[in-house]
Structure 1
Amino acid sequence: MDILPHQNIRVQLPNQLPSITTKNLVLRPLADSDAEDLFAIRSRSEVAKTNHPKTPHRSVAETREWMATKIFVEGAEHLIGRHFTYILIEIKDRDHHDDQPRSGDGRVIGYVGINEVYPSPEIGYSIHPDYWGKGYATEALNALLKLWWSLPRQGQDDNLVEETDSVFAICEKSNLGSGKVLSKCGFRVLREMTFEDDGGLDELFIWQLERPV
């Protein structure tokens, strides 16, 4: 049984995802060269306990295998083989004259993206524990969602787009920090459920955010 409702995804992804700059971050499309930086995040026990499965990565090779799962293999044919995942780079300094970021050459502090598009788009993100509490997850997720909603949809000019155009997130009820991020980004709890895995029972919230009108 799928945890998320089924949704016909008509979003059109560009051939090359654009980078995104926010106040404190540069969001750059995921690349294989990011494996070591992401391993430094996914190998942390604090991060693992909020993800599925809850086992920290033990090698960069394992992180690369996880990165490969971000490529869509199910869903609409026009999305197969693509991804919508970004790494987060902290901006180190700014031009003091116009407050524009000079570059995103700081530390890789996390990632954010659409984990899958089938049966519905599901959000995923993690921040390195050293950067928790700074609002970076909210800042990054808001930027990602803004781009996702702005992408063209098939049939958007001839009334073929279905009414349902939402993204979802699955979060443990006990993960108050992530719940706060989702709430700030406009998500609302759709339902609660219990999910059984090898580690026992997880009490989950299923969050939903509808495309702004």
Structure 2
Amino acid sequence: MFSLPRQAVTVIVPRPAPSAESDRLLLRPIEESDLPAIFAIRSRPEVARFNHPKTPFQSIDDAREWMASKTFMTGPSEVIGCSFTMAIVDKSIATNEEPVIGYVGINSLDPCPQIGYSILPEHWGKGFATEALQMLLTMWWKLPRRDLPSLFTQDEEPEKVYAICEKLNHGSCQVLRKCDFKVVDEFRYEADELCFWSSTRNIPESQL
């Protein structure tokens, strides 16, 4: 039977979480004003098809509940009450229009860090998900860590982040591959065949 690995939480999440910017995108922490954009994304059947649960959002209240679930409720004091989910802002969209085209973030830390992301279907195929995930991972690995040497030995696995993705979600699988994730297990949940992916820290020391 498949079970998630357990990883000690050493990361320290700042309040507020950091932002990042590229030529095309701005990643910033999600906020209350993003609820309509989150609803617009998660209410789409083609997005819900590969999410859990698979039911499209029916109201802003669904989006509000989703946003609340991104706050870490367990773990050390350095993470409780924090969130590391980012709005993906397309910098080319005019300020009088909705610039949030998706989100990407660390969904949970217990028992291990798991990432999640979604993009509006109108923006699929443009490389935004890959770019946003690479930016998020860079920010994540740059966060300070608590020094807990007693938790680690030379033989222990290095710190990782994980993702669960349906095998039929070819676009998302391709995003994970481009971001250096590797399939480490496969399992079935209800009617879905799922792949369990992992990625180790791969940011050059010179960039940390």
TM-score by length of 1: 0.87
Question: Partner of 1:45 in structure 2?
Answer: 45
Question: Partner of 2:193 in structure 1?
Answer: 203
Which deviates more from structure 2 when the two are superposed, residues 201-210 or residues 74-83?
74-83
Deviation at residue 160 of structure 1 after TM alignment: 4.9
Question: Partner of 1:65 in structure 2?
Answer: 65
**In the alignment, is the contact (CA less than 8 A) between 2:11 and 2:78 conserved in 1?**
no
Question: Partner of 2:141 in structure 1?
Answer: 149
Deviation at residue 75 of structure 1 after TM alignment: 2.8
Question: Partner of 2:91 in structure 1?
Answer: 91
Alignment of structure 1 residues 70-149 onto 2, 5 Å = 70-92=70-92, 107-149=99-141
**In the alignment, is the contact (CA less than 8 A) between 2:18 and 2:139 conserved in 1?**
no
How many residues are paired up? 199
Cα pair distance change 1:54/1:34, threshold 3 Å: same
Task: State the 4+ residue runs in structure 1 displaced beyond 2 angstroms.
Answer: 74-78, 159-164
Tell me, yes or no, if structure 1 residue 17 matches structure 2 residue 9.
Answer: no
- 5+ residue gaps in structure 2? none
Cα pair distance change 1:86/1:128, threshold 3 Å: same
Q: Deviations over 1:57-98 (max 9, x none)?
A: 0001111011110001123342111110000110127xxxxx
CA distance in 2, matches of 1:110, 1:209: 22
Aligned-residue identity in percent = 49
Question: Partner of 1:164 in structure 2?
Answer: 158
Write the letter of the residue equivalent to 1:52.
Answer: H
CA distance in 1, matches of 2:150, 2:59: 46
CA distance in 2, matches of 1:39, 1:53: 14
Cα pair distance change 1:161/1:144, threshold 3 Å: farther
CA RMSD of aligned residues (A): 2.1
Question: Partner of 2:188 in structure 1?
Answer: 194
Tell me, yes or no, if structure 1 residue 182 matches structure 2 residue 176.
Answer: yes
Write the letter of the residue equivalent to 1:182.
Answer: L
CA distance in 2, matches of 1:35, 1:65: 10
Q: Deviations over 1:88-124 (max 9, x none)?
A: 110127xxxxxxxx98x86210000000000000000
CA distance in 2, matches of 1:161, 1:147: 24
Write the letter of the residue equivalent to 1:141.
Answer: L
TM-score by length of 2: 0.89
Q: Deviations over 1:10-30 (max 9, x none)?
A: 011112112210121111101
CA distance in 2, matches of 1:161, 1:137: 34
**In the alignment, is the contact (CA less than 8 A) between 1:6 and 1:118 conserved in 2?**
yes
CA distance in 2, matches of 1:106, 1:140: 18
CA distance in 2, matches of 1:106, 1:41: 12
